[in-house]
Amino acid sequence: MLKILIIITNCYLAHTLTCNDVLDLPDSKRLTLKELQTLQPKDTVQCLAHLGKEQLLKEEADFIWQSIVNYHGGIGNIPDAILVLLHWVTPALTPDDYGNLTLSNIDVIQNFGLNYGLNEDQLSAIADRVREDFAGKEPQDYSFYDLTALRQILCAFNQSEIESIRPLAYKEAAILLGKLENCKPEVMQGFATLAVHPNAFGSPAGWSESTIRVIGKVADYIPQEFINQNNKPNNN
Ligand SMILES: *[C@@H]1O[C@H](CO)[C@@H](O)[C@H](O)[C@H]1NC(C)=O
Ligand SMILES: *[C@@H]1O[C@H](CO)[C@@H](O)[C@H](O)[C@H]1NC(C)=O
């Protein structure tokens, strides 16, 4: 009986982790959900940079997000310094959660612009916050720096918003924008409109191999008739 009690106690102790315990674990050791759930909210928040840096199971991300919300007593109270560290916890945020966040800080926006495979509803909710919160900036005001932070969030904008981005700002960010994942066709077509603008890369007739490489996936959305039209003089 006593022996069983000791074993149970040891098990319990071995699985009650603090942030320091987590940081001391060898790199090869991955926390199980059960182990993660022994962390107190304080330790979860303290260890967020570490916990969020690798892809998480849904239950794990949900647990970490709820711990953060509880620790700060509500979504609206979570400091920007914590939001910038969310990384792979980000998929746990529901579209409704974004109603309680303010996305006005470029470093916070940068967290949400990375590619975590968010669904369309989540990205749309983020885009709505950016439209409202981001220093009153409209797409025509976005700089290279802004576009670099926004990344995947741009995939939730519509074609007319994308086309109002300054072609020069698009050009500066073209390498990155040409690598966006799962962007809907209307957004890619919007980028293609910017790409052929004289202040960006101009007529496709004048493009080199390296231009095509720079614009990446956007090259697939240059309207065919535009390319044919511009190639005509060369073909004759
Ligand atoms: C979200 O904001 C509403 C209104 O301010 C508040 O009642 C609610 O508790 C908040 N939810 C969370 C999870 O922070
Ligand atoms: C694009 O989105 C903006 C912001 O939500 C909206 O005001 C505008 O009407 C939309 N345009 C089209 C063509 O859907």
pLDDT for 47-67, tens place per residue? 999 999 999 999 999 999 999
Cα(158) to ligand 2 centroid in Å equals 6
Ligand 1 in reach of 105 Cβ (< 6 A): no
- The stretch 151-163 carries a mean pLDDT of 98
Q: Residues 206, 135: one domain?
A: yes
- Please check whether residue 97 lies inside any domain of the structure: no
Q: What is the pLDDT of residues 84-106, one digit of tens each?
A: 999 999 999 999 999 999 999 99
CB atoms < 10 A from the CB of 51, how many? 27
**Both 120 and 159 in a single domain?**
yes
pLDDT at 4: 56
Residue 99 domain flag: no
Q: For residue 169, is it within any domain?
A: yes
- Same domain for 132 and 33, yes or no, is no
pLDDT, residue 167, reads: 98
User: How far is 49 from 15, CA to CA, in rounded Å?
Assistant: 21
The alpha carbon of 78 and the centre of ligand 1 are apart by a number of angstroms equal to 12
161 CA: nearest ligand 2 atom? 1
The answer on 163 and 57 residing in a single domain is no
Q: How high does pLDDT run on average in the chain?
A: 91
Flag whether pLDDT at 6 surpasses 80.
Answer: no
223 lies in some domain:
yes
Domain-terminating residue out of 40, 58, 92: 92
Q: Are 111 and 82 in contact (CB under 8 A)?
A: no
User: For residue 40, is pLDDT > 60?
Assistant: yes
Q: Which domain holds residue 180?
A: 107-236
Q: Which amino acid makes up residue 163?
A: E
The residue-averaged pLDDT of 126-140 equals 95
Please tell me the predicted confidence (pLDDT) of residue 29: 87
Q: What is the distance between the alpha carbons of residues 147 and 169, in angstroms, rounded to a whole number?
A: 8
For residue 3, the model assigns a pLDDT of 57
Which pLDDT does position 141 carry in this prediction? 97
| pLDDT given for residue 64 in this prediction | 98
Instruction: Give the residue from 60, 92, 124 where a domain finishes.
Output: 92
Residue 235, pLDDT > 50, answer no
Predicted confidence at residue 28, as pLDDT, reads 86
Are 137 and 219 contained in the same domain? yes
pLDDT at res. 223:
78
Ligand 1 contact via 76 beta carbon (within 6 Å): yes
Query: Ligand nearest 129 Cα, by number?
Result: 2
Alpha helices, H only, the chain: 2-14, 19-24, 33-36, 41-46, 48-51, 58-72, 80-83, 95-98, 106-113, 120-133, 144-150, 159-163, 167-177, 185-195, 209-215, 224-235
Does 138 sit in the ligand 2 pocket, CB within 6 Å?
no
Structure confidence by residue, pLDDT tens digits, 177-233: 999 999 999 999 999 999 999 999 999 998 999 999 999 999 999 977 666 555 444
Q: Which atom of ligand 1 is nearest to the CA of 75?
A: 14
pLDDT (average), residues 115-129:
97
Same domain membership, residue 194 and residue 119: yes
Percent of the chain residues topping a pLDDT of 70: 89
CB of 158 sitting under 6 A from ligand 2: yes
* CA proximity to 159, closest of 135, 130, 182, 192: 192
Residue type, 5: L
Instruction: Give the sign of the dihedral formed by CA 86, CA 87, CA 89, CA 93.
Output: positive
- Residues 83, 159 within the same domain: no
